[in-house]
């Protein structure tokens, strides 16, 4: 069942952020819709002010990056409410698509508000079914899908292009309302939808459902599936596959989308149903004896390092850590385990979230964390990645310092204020409160952003939260948060988007990490 409270609490922040970034109190407060000030959800929304996305630069594999979007909470509330209020209509439309295996659903108790009922672990079975009695496979995806979505195509997808064009300013149409709130949350830009919030999964699926409907109407008895924007379609002949490719390209062009030529290929069947590398790690067995476990552990990670090198686009090291995290590596195996995890974090900073969880767990059990080497790791990550604008590596390095109580060196500290990032300033201010930076931390640039207008800019998170935490004063005499009705309401009700006590292992968000099965094929 669709729930505005759950969509706001479990579908707002991207899941790749460190644990202290939460929206549960926000969800609890604004889901009491009758108590909201009229400015929060105006009767004439087209007069509502626009806001900018906070952009978080995320590390991916093979030196690739992905920019995640964190919407302004006021604008996000209105978009989320629109989706929830019209969920029955949206769900009915999505269910008409026979190709998609990633239809979004509200799943109670899951890590996210919106998930699909099938995921990467199910795809080998689906491939086996759809490739039976077929000789050729068409594999393709959409080039830069989320960033290239044309927001005006939302009403085209829901209502048809002809109807939407005739009624462009008719806000009785759901598609026009969705289009409006998406644009308002990204400074009225019509190109792209933010990567990260669960709402974007719904918007993306609405557009591609319309594509799929037209595709299946033109090519009957189509075998295969679409997962998000990845198509795997099987055919009896190569000519059939080529025809389908041409048709798909034509349909996508109507929505101002295009296929990724680099990932488009027609292969002769049979082909492998799944990646081979996970089985090497999944089947690895550890001996019970202490000496045997140490040898096995080094061999296991040696295999993982080799697999990571030969599969640079896969989450090999993250999977390797997740696969053995339920085993006991304390006592005599602790030192070698810590050494191997440090190597993972050094080689692939994207593993820090998994390394940190293991370090904190064993630190709580009384094992000694090698502070000097982790401080060296943190300094290396910050000094290397700040000049490159790599926000996620830096954010997780600071969070590691906070959780493990590791001071940030003066050289690293000097770099932090120069990074343009929405997440790093709050983590740094928290680290200073914990005594992990010097008192000479340069906060002048961040302090200059403590203005009312910044509450609707890309630094809204800092402008609101640093005031709520009394970390930075307003840039003018009058409190800048109290000057805005919407954010003043949030502040009055104790809403926080940064939870300082999240370093405790008892906090639920420590458990909200990907499972080993989810890590296979997880594209971040």
313-355 residue pLDDT tens: 888 999 999 999 999 999 999 999 999 999 999 998 889 999 9
Residues 14-52 pLDDT 10s: 999 999 999 999 999 999 999 999 888 877 777 788 999
Reply yes or no on whether the pLDDT at 265 is more than 80.
Answer: yes
Distances (CA, A) of 500 to 429, 431, 441, 465, 468: 11, 10, 19, 11, 12
Distance CA 161, CA 24 (A): 38
Neighbouring residues of 429: CB distance < 8 A, sequence distance ≥ 6 = 443, 446, 466, 469, 471, 472
Q: How confident is the model at residue 503 (pLDDT cuts 50, 70, 90)?
A: confident
Q: Scanning the structure block, which residue is given the tokens 């626009």?
A: 50
H or E, element range at 142: none
Residue 75, token pair as written in the block: 């604008």
Decide: 481 and 467 in contact? Cβ < 8 Å: yes
Task: Say what the pLDDT of residue 510 is.
Answer: 57
Q: Which CA distances in Å does 268 have to 92, 137, 237, 265?
A: 36, 6, 9, 10
Question: pLDDT at position 313, please?
Answer: 85
Give yes or no for a contact between 317 and 341, defined as CB atoms under 8 angstroms apart. no
pLDDT of residue 496: 97
Please spell the DSSP secondary structure of 445-490, one letter per residue. Answer: HHHTT-SGGGGGSTTHHHHHHHHHTTSS--SSSS-TTTTSHHHHHH
Which region, left, alpha or beta, applies to residue 257 given φ > 0 means left and ψ of -120 to 50 means alpha?
beta
Closest CA to 201 of 94, 110, 279, 315: 94
DSSP code of residue 111: S
Determine the Cα–Cα distance for residues 469 and 262; give it in Å rounded to an integer. Answer: 47
Percent of the chain having pLDDT more than 90? 85
- Is residue 79 a contact partner of residue 71, using CB atoms and an 8 Å limit? yes
**CB-count burial class (<10 Å; 0-12, 13-18, 19+) for 492:** exposed
Among 39, 28, 69, which residue's Cα sits nearest to residue 483?
39
pLDDT of residue 515 exceeding 70, the answer is no
Q: How confident is the model at residue 514, as a pLDDT? A: 45
Where does the pLDDT of residue 523 fall: very low under 50, low under 70, confident under 90, or very high at 90 and above? very low
pLDDT value at 275 more than 70: yes
What pTM was computed for the model? 0.93
Residue 509 burial (CB count, 10 A): 18
Per-residue pLDDT, 61: 64
- In angstroms, the Cα distances linking 101 to 34, 196, 225, 226 are 37, 19, 6, 6
* Least confident piece of the model among 114-118, 299-303, 376-380, 510-514: 510-514
Query: Which tokens go with 231?
Result: 């198509």
Residue 507: pLDDT band (50, 70, 90) is: low
Instruction: Report CA dihedral (435, 441, 443, 444) to the nearest 10 degrees.
Output: 150
Beta carbons within 8 Å of 166's beta carbon, 6+ residues apart: none
* Ramachandran bin of 228, using left for φ above 0, alpha for ψ from -120 to 50, beta for the remaining angles: left
Is residue 166 within 8 A of residue 159, CB to CB? The reply is no
Point out which residues pair with 225 in neighbouring strands: 232
Query: For tokens 């579908």, what's the residue?
Result: 11
Average pLDDT over residues 194-209: 98
What is the residue-averaged pLDDT of the chain?
Answer: 93
Q: What is the DSSP string of 333-402?
A: GHHHHHHHHHHHHHH-GGGHHHHHHHHHHHHHTTPPP-HHHHHHHHHHHHHHHTTTT-HHHHHHHHHHHH
Q: CB within 8 A of 47, min separation 6: which ones?
A: none
Mean pLDDT of 85-99: 95
Question: Which neighbouring-strand residues pair with 70?
Answer: 54
pLDDT in tens, 388-411: 999 999 999 999 999 999 999 999
Q: Average pLDDT, stretch 472-493?
A: 96
Percentage of the residues of the chain whose pLDDT score is greater than 70: 95
* Pair 362, 330: CB distance under 8 Å: yes
pLDDT bracket for residue 506 (50, 70, 90): low
Express each pLDDT in 65-80 by its tens digit. Answer: 899 999 999 999 999 9
Q: What pLDDT, on the 0 to 100 scale, is given for residue 517? A: 42
DSSP per position, 190-206? -B---SSSHHHHHHHHH
Task: Report the C-alpha gap between 381 and 398 in whole angstroms.
Answer: 10
Residue boundaries of the structural domains of the chain: 4-12+23-38+71-273
In degrees, rounded to 5, the angle at the alpha carbon of residue 163 between the alpha carbons of residues 166 and 244 is 130
Query: How many Cβ atoms are within 10 Å of 417's Cβ, its own excluded?
Result: 16
* φ, ψ dihedrals at 231, nearest 5°: -105, 135
pLDDT at 509 over 70: no
From the list 357, 358, 345, the residue with the least C-alpha distance to 385 is: 345
Q: Angle 317-358-390 (CA atoms, 0-180°, nearest 5)? A: 55
């Amino acid at each position: 069942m669709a729930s505005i409270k759950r969509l706001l609490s479990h579908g707002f922040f991207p899941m790749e952020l460190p644990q202290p970034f939460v929206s549960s109190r926000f969800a609890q407060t604004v889901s009491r819709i009758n108590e909201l000030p009229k400015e929060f959800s105006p009767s004439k929304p087209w007069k509502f002010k626009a806001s900018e996305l906070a952009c978080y630069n995320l590390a991916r594999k093979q030196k690739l990056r992905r920019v995640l979007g964190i919407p302004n909470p006021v604008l996000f509330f209105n978009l989320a409410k629109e989706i929830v209020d019209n969920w029955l209509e949206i769900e009915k439309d999505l269910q008409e698509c026979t190709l998609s295996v990633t239809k979004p659903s509200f799943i109670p108790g899951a890590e996210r508000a919106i998930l699909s009922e099938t995921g990467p672990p199910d795809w080998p079975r689906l491939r086996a079914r759809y490739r039976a009695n077929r000789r050729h496979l068409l594999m393709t995806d959409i080039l830069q899908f989320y960033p290239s979505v044309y927001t005006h195509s939302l009403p085209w997808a829901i209502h048809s292009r002809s109807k939407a064009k005739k009624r462009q300013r008719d806000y009785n149409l759901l598609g026009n309302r969705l289009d409006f709130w998406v644009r308002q949350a990204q400074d009225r830009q019509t190109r792209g939808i933010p990567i990260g919030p669960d709402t974007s999964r719904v918007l993306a699926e609405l557009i591609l459902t319309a594509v799929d409907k037209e595709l299946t109407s033109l090519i009957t008895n189509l075998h295969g599936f679409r997962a998000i924007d990845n198509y795997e379609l099987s055919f009896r002949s190569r000519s059939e596959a080529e025809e389908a490719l041409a048709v798909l390209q034509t349909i996508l062009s109507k929505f101002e989308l295009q296929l990724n030529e680099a990932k488009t290929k027609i292969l002769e069947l049979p082909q492998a149903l799944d990646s081979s590398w996970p089985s090497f790690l999944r089947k690895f067995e550890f001996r019970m004896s202490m000496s045997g476990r140490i040898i096995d552990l080094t061999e296991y990670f040696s295999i993982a390092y080799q697999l990571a090198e030969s599969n640079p686009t896969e989450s090999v090291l993250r999977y390797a850590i997740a696969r053995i995290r339920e085993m006991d590596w304390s006592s005599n195996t602790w030192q070698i385990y810590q050494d191997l995890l440090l190597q993972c974090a050094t080689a692939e900073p994207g593993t820090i979230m998994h390394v940190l969880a293991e370090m904190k767990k064993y630190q709580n059990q009384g094992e000694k964390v090698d502070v000097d080497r982790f401080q060296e790791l943190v300094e290396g990550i910050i000094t290397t990645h700040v000049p490159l604008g790599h926000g996620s590596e830096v954010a997780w390095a600071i969070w590691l310092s906070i959780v493990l109580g590791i001071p940030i060196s003066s050289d690293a500290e000097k770099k932090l204020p120069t990074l343009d990032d929405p997440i790093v300033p709050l983590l740094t201010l928290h680290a200073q409160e914990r005594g992990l930076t010097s008192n000479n931390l340069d906060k002048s640039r961040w302090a200059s952003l403590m203005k009312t207008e910044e509450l609707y800019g890309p630094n809204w998170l800092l402008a609101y939260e640093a005031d709520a935490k009394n970390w930075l004063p307003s840039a003018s005499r009058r409190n800048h948060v109290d000057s805005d009705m919407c954010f003043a309401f949030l502040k009055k009700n104790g809403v926080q988007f940064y939870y300082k006590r999240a370093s405790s292992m008892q906090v639920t968000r420590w458990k909200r990490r990907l499972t080993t099965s989810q890590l296979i094929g997880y594209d971040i």
